[in-house]
Amino acid sequence: MVTVTAATARPSQRKSVRGKSAQAARPSPRVWAVRVALALATATLGCVGVASSLANVVVKVEPARAYRLAPWNPAFTAALAEQLFTQNARSDENSRPARLAKQALMQDPTAVTAAAVLGFQAQLRGDGAQADRYFAYATRLSRRELRPQIWAIEQAVSQGDIEGALDRYDVALRTSASAQDVLFPVLVAALNEPRIRRSVLRRMAAQPTWAEPFVAFVAASGIAPDAAIRFFREGRAFDLPVTDVMRASIVNTLLEQNRTLEAWGYYASYRPNAQRFRSRDPNFVGAAEGATPFDWTVPDQPGLSAGLLRTAEGGLLDFSVPSSIGGTVVTQLQVLTPGRYRLEGRSSGLEQSGQSPPFWLLACQDGRELGRVPVPNSSLAGGVFAGRFTVPQGCPAQILSLMARPTTSLTDTTGQIVRLQLVPARQGE
């Protein structure tokens, strides 16, 4: 038997063999149809995937574009409904935001943003019952959606349920990143109410994630400084995390409101050595934290350099002032009662050739000057200086300042104040 192969076959035979092999390798029309269908399906899914991915990128900035790219996505549909309703809040149930919100819920019954849009729209129509149904549904769907939680807070407040409202506050503040901006100001203002204050403090004791940011906001917001003071004082029993920086914020708020004596009262409550009839920090050690105008304060003045420096003995005030400009070196707010006072101090390194030495000035807060005490060169009397002031009636607050005057000298005014105190004058002075 002879076997014919492509190598041994005659030319006509080799052509026949190649023809049969090619025919066997060529896919049939049916196979081609299947392949084309699969390719189209893959391409379609790819387009859908690309569109969805792109829409995910732009949805927060351009919900309308995201919706055009992927209208089948309930999140994009709900986002567009929210944007359109925010831009033009209409109560019409057939408005485009309403239709989109309903479409989103049809696409996904858990589209909480869409439920919230329909709830707000019902509120605009005055349909409280339907609004309640939508918002109640939204709160069941998600604890992270802020607006339904706000509705739940309002519901609790309208029913006089303080604990229920604060429970909702707690949920919203734990779960929503934007809740603090919305809810903190309202909650701070509510601290004037003793029941609310006590309830908030009890929650602070559990150390929720929002405790420290809230305490800081209470101090810095300036919304209700009196309530903040009571909150901080009562918070001692709950180990409320209050710092002197926070307390100083309240003091500064009261001063901005021209409530100087109340600011002093609170300042003295947490600065145990603060006494109304004398200045503070005679050695210029500086406040450990949270300085206020009742502490030594260096004004921000161009060209002037001054600072409180720590030393082995305590501290000192170091300053350098251009001779051509002068200026205020340091200040401290006082609340001295009417009477006579003695200022005494000691300088170091102050050697000025001109006739205009620095001086300590005491003036009423309204600008009335009560006197000046010059600071001579440190080579005189070992740098020791002293002087007297009289505080009259009708001057409840005063400012003690070290002033450097412009001079004709070619050198700057430089030196140090090692010690300074303002105290009641002794009998007979």
Of 23-32, 45-54, 359-368, 397-406, the poorest mean pLDDT is in: 45-54
Prediction pTM value: 0.70
pLDDT at 358: 92
How does residue 200 score in pLDDT terms, banded at 50, 70 and 90? very high
Please state the three-class secondary structure of 190-231 as a single string.
Answer: HCCCHHHHHHHHHHHHCCCCCHHHHHHHHHHHCCCHHHHHHH
Question: Running DSSP on this structure, what letter comes out for residue 25?
Answer: H
* pLDDT at res. 391: 97
Q: Is 341 part of any domain?
A: yes
Domain boundary among 87, 113, 142: 142
162 by Cβ neighbours in 10 Å (0-12 / 13-18 / 19+) ranks as middle
Question: pLDDT-derived band of residue 272, with 50, 70 and 90 as boundaries?
Answer: confident
Model confidence at 229: pLDDT above 90: yes
Q: In this structure, what CATH number is given to the domain that contains residue 134?
A: 1.25.40.10
What pLDDT does 128 receive? 64
Sign of CA dihedral 26, 32, 36, 37: negative
Cα–Cα dist 253/158, whole Å: 32
Split at pLDDT 50, 70, 90, the class of 412 is: confident
CATH number at residue 376: 2.60.120.260
Domain contains 120:
yes
Final residue belonging to a domain, choices 93, 120, 142: 142
* Residues 120 and 89: beta-carbon distance below 8 Å: yes
What is the rounded end-to-end Cα distance, in angstroms, of the chain?
146
Arithmetic mean of pLDDT, 43-59: 40
In a domain, 381, yes or no: yes
Examine the fold and report which residue of 142, 160, 186 is the final residue of a domain before the chain moves on: 142
What pLDDT is stored for residue 414 in this prediction? 87
If 0-12 CB within 10 Å is exposed, 13-18 middle and 19+ buried, where does residue 127 land? Answer: middle
Residue 364 falls within a domain, yes or no? yes
- Of the listed ranges 51-55, 380-384, 419-423, the least confidently predicted one is 51-55
Please indicate whether residue 89 or residue 39 has the higher confidence score (pLDDT). 89
**What was the pLDDT predicted at 71?**
74
CA angle 148, 115, 142 (to 5 degrees): 50
pLDDT for 6 beyond 60:
no
Quick one: pLDDT band at residue 177, thresholds 50, 70, 90? confident
Residue 125 has pLDDT above 80, yes or no: no
In a domain, 208, yes or no: no
254 falls within a domain: no
31: its two tokens? 């196979």
Task: Determine the Cα–Cα distance for residues 335 and 364; give it in Å rounded to an integer.
Answer: 10
Per the CB < 8 A criterion, the answer to whether 108 and 73 are in contact is no
**Residues 6+ positions from 144 with CB-CB distance below 8 Å:** 175, 176
> At 145, is the pLDDT very low, low, confident or very high (cuts 50, 70, 90)?
low
User: Reduced to 3 DSSP states, what percent helix, strand and coil does the chain have, rounded to the nearest 5?
Assistant: 50, 15, 35
Q: Specify if 217 maps to a domain.
A: no
Tokens standing for 146?
């802020």
Residue 89 lies in a domain: yes
The pLDDT assigned to 56 comes to 45
Q: Is residue 97 exposed (0-12), middle (13-18) or buried (19+ Cβ within 10 Å)?
A: buried
From its phi and psi, is residue 382 left (phi > 0), alpha (psi between -120 and 50) or beta?
left
| Residue span of the structural domain in which 375 resides | 305-424
Q: Over the stretch 214-227, which tens digit does the pLDDT of each residue have?
A: 999 999 999 999 99
Q: Looking at the 3D structure of the chain, how many domains does it have?
A: 2
Beta bridge partners of 385: 345
